[in-house]
Amino acid sequence: MERDIEQILLTPEQIQNRIRELGEILTAEYADKDPVIVGVLKGVVVFYADMVRQIKAPCQMDFMWLSSYSGTDSTGSMIVRQDVTADIRGRHVLILEDIYDTGNSLTYTVEHLKKKEPASLKICTLLDKPERRKPGVTLQADYVGFTIPNAFVVGYGLDYNEKYRNLPFIGILKPEIYEK
């Protein structure tokens, strides 16, 4: 698998250091709010597990599973495979996302959850790739781990056709792998 990586963009140490920093910020933000922390599956699993352990405040865990990708391209249409199970009306909700790129899935997620009338709704994304944002997408993440260039990245939960999620780092996939 590692032979398919063109460049390591973020090392395990860089990722864990930033998660600790975000954990301190989110602990202060949610200390007395008993938030519901919603992870957007599947890519968020690794980040989610590490992030919730760094939030030193009571919280409830929940997940949504959306699908919009085929290979390296977003199809633009959302499929909700699993919705949140918690009643989030009047609750503080924090969305954890692995990567914010085109904005399609995150915008859909935010609009979907807003209909459930949470007290507040904020976004924490490990990776922000603003160069990939679709025209007209104005949504901003409240907390960002890293801003990255417009390259196809895998590892630490991120995949290409369900592969590479288990790499401990985030790397740029060699173009010849996905341009076949």
pLDDT in tens, 90-146: 999 999 999 999 898 899 999 999 999 999 999 999 999 999 999 989 999 999 999
Q: Is the peptide bond before 42 cis (omega within 30 degrees of 0)?
A: yes
Q: Please say if 98 is a catalytic residue.
A: no
pLDDT score at 81: 87
**Closest of 36, 21, 3, 56 to residue 122, by C-alpha:** 36
pLDDT over threshold 60, residue 66: yes
Options 101, 128, 142, 159, the catalytic residue: 101
- Partners of 160 in the beta sheet? 163
The rounded mean pLDDT for the chain is 93
Q: Give the residue from 148, 41, 172, 149 showing the smallest Cα distance to 98.
A: 41
Q: Which CATH fold would you assign to the domain 13-149? A: Rossmann fold (3.40.50)
Per-residue pLDDT, 1: 77
